[in-house]
Amino acid sequence: VNTIVLAERPEGALEEAHFSTVDVPAPSSPGPGEVLCRTVLLSIDPANRAWMRQATYRPRLDAGQPMEGFVLAEVVAQNGTGVIPGAVVGCTAPWQEYFVAPAQAVRPIRRRGPLERHLSVLGFSGLTAYVGLLEVGALEAGETVLVSAAGGSVGHLVGQIARLKGARVIGISGSDDKNAMLEADLGFHATVNHRSPRFAAELRSACGDGVDVYFDNVGGPVLSAALEQMRTHGRVVCCGAVSQYDAPRATPGPAGVPTILVTKRLRMQGFLLQDHSKSWSAALEELGRWVGEGRIRALEDVRVGLESAPTALVDVLAGRNVGKVMVRVGSDPAGGIGGARRDR
Ligand SMILES: NC(=O)c1ccc[n+]([C@@H]2O[C@H](COP(=O)([O-])OP(=O)(O)OC[C@H]3O[C@@H](n4cnc5c(N)ncnc54)[C@H](OP(=O)(O)O)[C@@H]3O)[C@@H](O)[C@H]2O)c1
């Protein structure tokens, strides 16, 4: 089977040439306590690039190692685990069509609708947007929310959740087309393009009398500009820093930040979704209801074939995506949506 490896660790922007495809022996039958899985959908995340820079919440990914990512997969065989073949599970796995994993490392998916939804609004993106905005950001109705990478996977959901909770929503993206779509289709009240030469002035004008919650997906100069727009007692939710993942060196900081935090009494807080697992089921309940009622739209950018994964990751980092990027590696398990019966 094919596996995609990181052939060379990038110093600057990631390119397709940093990857290679290697033919490896097909995984054998699972050992005791293991499951053999067939990859169906591969999630493409900016974090995949951050792992190549340094140890993050996992060890650094080095040249010669298989690329890894979060996948949804079908269990095709198991050995003494109790997991029923045909079940759909989520786990971290190599960029590969088949893989063996310990049963404790896979999480059964309680399927609601198309599997793609379980990587977008009903998956980590939706959960990240929900807990980041409502728990970490402590959003209240009537407040103003600013979100960066607003046309991206987490960002377009942050904007819609904020709107549903009664906030005024301003989005930042790197494309006028994305911004037009966010306003016309997803109910954002205003948008700004971070590539505009007049970005700071345009942001000031869009933010009017200030921002209560800034949901930061990108860090760097966009974060600096956003901090200037915060209202007294505002909250800055640090979700990620995409602008730093693909840059040769980190933007220097945070020289002026403490003054802004003190004078405006801001709370600036980073978070990791896995620390909020107690809230996941309630969050999925509400997200699922909104999806069912058609009140929230999940934008999904689905590429086809394992070989498209490197370009998909390069595109996410460059902003050539709208919504959640994923790769369809294999067909849905037979039985379609009815396969949910097998899930635990
Ligand atoms: N804390 C957690 O537990 C957690 C969980 C999941 C994800 N995250 C983080 O959430 C953030 C968003 O992830 P995602 O999966 O939703 O990705 P995404 O927003 O779909 O893709 C990244 C976007 O970042 C923007 N971008 C790239 N370079 C930029 C730059 N130099 N300046 C400004 N914007 C830039 C691009 O859009 P535009 O340039 O068009 O705006 C691109 O589309 C990431 O930082 C990720 O690491 C955190």
What does each of the 344 residues of the chain score in pLDDT, given as a tens digit?
999 999 999 999 999 999 999 999 998 899 999 999 999 999 999 999 999 988 788 899 999 999 999 999 999 999 999 999 999 999 999 999 999 999 999 999 989 899 999 999 999 999 999 999 999 999 999 999 999 999 999 999 999 999 999 999 999 999 999 999 999 999 999 999 999 999 999 999 999 999 999 999 999 999 999 999 999 999 999 999 999 999 888 888 888 889 999 999 999 999 999 999 999 999 999 999 999 999 999 999 999 999 999 999 999 999 999 999 999 999 999 865 433 333 32
Which residue, by CA, sits nearest to atom 35 of ligand 1?
243
Distance from Cα 116 to the centre of ligand 1, integer Å: 19
Classified as helix, coil or strand, 77 is strand
Burial label for 73, CB within 10 Å (0-12, 13-18, 19+), is: buried
Q: pLDDT value at position 252?
A: 83
Q: How far apart are CA 80 and CA 223, in angstroms?
A: 50
Distance from Cα 152 to the centre of ligand 1, integer Å: 6
With the most atoms of ligand 1 within 8 angstroms of its CB, the residue from 153, 156, 242 to mutate is 242
Number of the ligand 1 atom closest to the C-alpha atom of 173: 41
With the most atoms of ligand 1 within 8 angstroms of its CB, the residue from 48, 186, 218, 325 to mutate is 218
Which residue, by CA, sits nearest to atom 40 of ligand 1?
174
Q: pLDDT value at position 56?
A: 82
Q: How far apart are CA 72 and CA 92, in angstroms?
A: 9
Hey, how many other C-beta atoms are within 10 angstroms of the C-beta on 232? 10
Which residue, by CA, sits nearest to atom 32 of ligand 1?
243
Q: pLDDT value at position 340?
A: 35
Q: pLDDT value at position 107?
A: 94
With the most atoms of ligand 1 within 8 angstroms of its CB, the residue from 217, 246, 273 to mutate is 217
Q: How far apart are CA 258 and CA 242, in angstroms?
A: 22
* Virtual torsion, Cα 168, 218, 303, 248, nearest 10 deg: 160
Q: pLDDT value at position 342?
A: 33
Comparing CA positions, the residue from 287, 325, 280 lying closest to residue 41 is 325
Q: pLDDT value at position 335?
A: 60
Q: pLDDT value at position 248?
A: 83
Hey, how many other C-beta atoms are within 10 angstroms of the C-beta on 31? 11
Rg (CA), the chain: 20
Number of the ligand 1 atom closest to the C-alpha atom of 271: 1
Which residue, by CA, sits nearest to atom 41 of ligand 1?
173
Note the helical H segments in the chain.
46-53, 124-131, 155-164, 176-186, 199-207, 220-227, 242-245, 257-264, 280-292, 309-318
Which residue, by CA, sits nearest to atom 45 of ligand 1?
240
Ligand 1: lining residues by beta carbon, under 6 Å? 45-47, 124-125, 128, 149, 151-155, 173-175, 178, 194, 217-218, 220, 222, 239-243, 271-273, 316-317, 319, 321
Q: pLDDT value at position 57?
A: 83
Q: pLDDT value at position 229?
A: 98
Distance from Cα 100 to the centre of ligand 1, integer Å: 30
Burial label for 237, CB within 10 Å (0-12, 13-18, 19+), is: buried
